[in-house]
Chains A and B, each alone.
Chain A
C-alpha cells in the first residue's frame, strides 16, 4: 500500500467482545465484521465472567477470515513474556500475517491473586508493559529472515548464524520483580517480521513512543475525543497511528439508541443515535485520527447496522482506506516490513512479505 493513497483515509476497527466463546459465534462475528468492511477486529481480555482467552479467539478467527486484521489484547503484568511472544508470533502464522497486539497492563488485584503475585500499580504497570514489549520484539527478531535454509548438502536445517540470543534483562530501576529472558524464540520470525504493537495512551511514558506502532486514545465524552486525539498526535508524531476509542449504540430494529444505551461502557466516549449521525461523526473524526475502534453496545445488533448503513456511506465519501487483499496488518498501517535488529549487513536486504 502506498502512502499517497492512504494519507487522508482512515481505518475502522471493531471490538468483538460479545461474540462469546462459541466457535460458531466467533466465526459469525469475525465474518460479519470482515464483510462489513472493517479493517481490524479486536478481542478484549480483561477478566470477566464468560470471556474466553482473547488470543485463542483471534486464532480461531484466523483461518475463517481473509483480510481483516486480528488484534487481541494480551496482558503484560501477569503473563510470561516468552509465552506472550510465542503466542503472538503463532497468531501471525495462523492468520497469514494479519496479527497485532493490544498491550494491556492489568491493574487487577484479582489477576495478581490468581497467579500468586502482589498487585502491580502505578508506574510499575507501564514498566511491566515496556519490558514485555521489548522481550517480544527481541524474540521476534531473534530468528533473522531466511534462518530456515534446509540445505541438504550440509545437512543444516537452519543457519545458526541467523539465530540470536535476546539476552534481555529488566532495567535496574524496574519496579516489579526483575527478570531475564535468554532466547532465541522457539518459532521462526513472524510473517510480518514484527507484529504491530498498539497500546493505550495511558501507558505512554513508561512505554516509549518508539516501542509502539499505534496508540489507543480514550476520552470521557464523544465531544472531547477529537481534542484528545490532537493532543496525543502532538506527543507521538506522525509515525505512530492514533486510534480513537468510541462506544456505539445505534437506533436499530425500531428501537431508539437511547433505549439501548445501558449496554455501553460509562467510562468511554460513546455515540448514541442514528446511523446517519454516526456516519457524519466518524467522517469528521477520521480526519483527525488514523483510525477509530468501535465498541458496539450490542455486538450483533450494532454490527448489522454498521455494515448496512455506516461503512458503505463512509466508503462512498472516500474517508475509509480500501481493504487490501492479502495484505498484512503492517500494510494496513502503512508500515514497512522491518529487518531484524540482529541482521548482519549482508543479510539486511531480505525484505518483502
Chain B
C-alpha cells in the first residue's frame, strides 16, 4: 500500500482532482419510477448494473442508505415514492463479489446498532471486499423509528452527537486494537451513559487498516463531529460559492480539531442532467422534474404540512386557502420535515407562490427538486464547470444520485468522465485496490486519545 505521509498542515492544498461516488437512493422522490426504462429498485441486477457501470467510470465509491422505518403519510405508509430498501451491508457484501475496485459505503445508524456488533460487521465487509468498505455515520433520535427496535426511542435529541461520537470512538478503538496485522488484539472496554462495551476484536485489520468514515450533517455540531472523526463529509453545498465557503469552514474546524487542513474531504450530494447540448439538457430537465413530482406528489407534499387531505385541490391551481389543522408538521414521518411550524409556513408559502405566480405543482417542484445540487448542461460545459471546482479545491468530488435506475450513470460514465479526464481533473485509473487509496487518504494511525490499554477491567 502506498503511504501518503503528510505533515499535519494548517494550510489547505487543493488536490486538483475530483472523485465520484454514486448514491443508490432506494427511498426518495428523486428516483423516477414512472418512465418505461425504470427498472426494479430491489432486484440485485439493478444494484449490480449501477455498481459495475460506476466501476467502469472509475468511481471511488458506491453508497447505500439505511431504512429503519417506512415513511408515513397521514398515518399510513407513504405510497407515491420509490420505497423498499435492502440492508446496506448485505447488499454491499454481495456487490463485493462482482466488483474489484469500487469502495462500498454502508449508511449505518449509531442509535439502533450496538458499537461492537457494528464494528465487527463493518470489519467483515472490509475484509471480504479486500479493503473497500466505508461507514456513512448517521444518527436518529426519534421514538417513532425506535418502535422497530428493542431499545425503543431511548435517545434525547441533545445527546445525539455526543452519543454518536462515543460510538465512533469505540468502533475505532476496536479496529485499532491490533498491534500488528496479525494481532494480538487488545480488549476494548467502554462504560458510557447509554451502553457498555467489553469486547476483544475477532478480525484483523484490513488492507486499508479500517473502514473509511463518511459523515453527513450540516449543523455546527455535525460539522465539528466530522472535523474530529470523519475522513469524508457529505456536504449539502454543491453550488460553487457555497462550496468554497463550506471548505473554508471545514478547514478551520479540522485545524482546530488538530487534524490538519486536508484531513477531511468534501463530497456534496448532487444530481446531473446532461445532454450533448445545453438546449437538450434543459428539455431533459423538464422531463425529469415532471416525472419526479407528479400531481399526486405535489398534493401529498402539501398535505404533510397541512396535516389534512387536500386531494380536492387542483395541482395546477393555487395553494390551498384553508389553514393547516396541525401546529407542527409530522404527517409524513421520516421525511425530515417533522416539527416545522405549519401555519407560519403555510402563510409564507402562499405569499411566495402568489408572488411568483406558481401553481401547486410548480411550487412543490421548486421546493423539492434538488435545485441547488443539480448540474444541468452539455457534457463539455458541465466538465468545464467541474474543472473549476477542482482547480480551487472547492470540493474533493461529488456524490451522485442517479434519477434513473439502473441506467442513470451511463451518460455520466460514457460522456462526462472522459471530458473530465481530458481536463486532467479525474482519475484515469484506480490508484490502488482500497477505497483509502482511491481517495488518497492517509493510513490511519492510532491517536493518543484512543486509549487501547485495558480500561477499568
Contact = CB atoms under 8 A, between A and B. Distances in A.
A187 B149 contact: no
Contact of A49 (B79, B90, B202): B202
Contacts of B94: 59-60, 62-63, 94-95
Nearest to B300: A155
Contact of B87 (A26, A86, A160, A179): A86
B127 interface: yes
The secondary-structure label for the interface of chain B is loop
A53 B121 contact: yes
Interface stretch (A77-85, A233-241, A303-311, A315-323): A77-85
Given A56-B90, A94-B90, A143-B84, A186 B129 contact: no
Nearest to A149: B79
Given A56-B125, A160-B76, A187-B87, A114 B117 contact: yes
Nearest to A53: B124
Contacts of A47: 202
B116 interface: yes
Of the candidates B93, B198, B200, B294, the one having the most CB atoms from chain A within 10 angstroms of its own CB is B93
A78 B114 CA distance: 9
A186 B77 contact: no
Of the candidates A156, A158, A159, the one having the most CB atoms from chain B within 10 angstroms of its own CB is A158
Contact of B48 (A26, A63, A115, A187): A63
A35 interface: no
A7 to B, nearest CB: 33
Nearest to A181: B148
Contacts of B379: none
Interface size class of B (residues with CB under 8 A): 35 or more
A145 to B, nearest CB: 13
A9 interface: no
A47 B202 CA distance: 8
Contact of A60 (B70, B85, B93): B93
A96 interface: yes
A82 B295 CA distance: 34
A173 interface: no
Given A50-B204, A83-B87, A179 B150 contact: yes
Interface of A: 21-23, 26-27, 47-53, 55-57, 59-64, 78-83, 86-87, 89-91, 93-96, 110, 113-116, 143, 148, 150, 152, 154-160, 163, 177, 179-184, 186-188
A157 B81 contact: yes
B296 A154 contact: yes
Instruction: List the 8 closest pairs (A to B, CB-CB), nearest first.
Output: A155-B296, A186-B67, A94-B94, A116-B196, A53-B124, A56-B93, A90-B90, A59-B93
A82 B84 contact: no
B89 interface: yes
A23 B129 contact: yes
A326 to B, nearest CB: 14
B203 interface: yes
A136 B114 CA distance: 19
Interface string B104-119: 0000000011101100
A59 B202 CA distance: 20
B246 interface: no
Contacts of B34: 150, 152
Given A23-B97, A48-B202, A82 B68 contact: yes
Interface in B116-141: 116-117, 120-121, 123-125, 127-130
Given A21-B203, A79-B117, A90-B87, A179 B152 contact: yes
A284 to B, nearest CB: 37
Contacts of B42: 93, 148, 187-188
B90 A91 contact: yes
Given A55-B93, A115-B197, A155-B295, 6 more contacts: A22-B127, A49-B183, A56-B124, A59-B90, A63-B44, A187-B85
B297 interface: yes
Nearest to B66: A186
Given A23-B128, A113-B199, A155 B297 contact: yes
Interface string B39-80: 000111000100000000000000000011110000011011
7 contacts: A23-B97, A51-B202, A52-B127, A93-B86, A94-B44, A95-B94, A186-B67
Contacts of B236: none
B187 to A, nearest CB: 10
B398 interface: no
A28 B152 CA distance: 42
Given A64-B97, A115-B116, A21 B84 contact: no
A26 B77 contact: no
Interface in B22-41: 27, 33-34
A186 B68 contact: yes
Contacts of A116: 114, 195-198
B128 to A, nearest CB: 5
A295 to B, nearest CB: 20
B429 to A, nearest CB: 21
Nearest to B43: A93
B166 interface: no
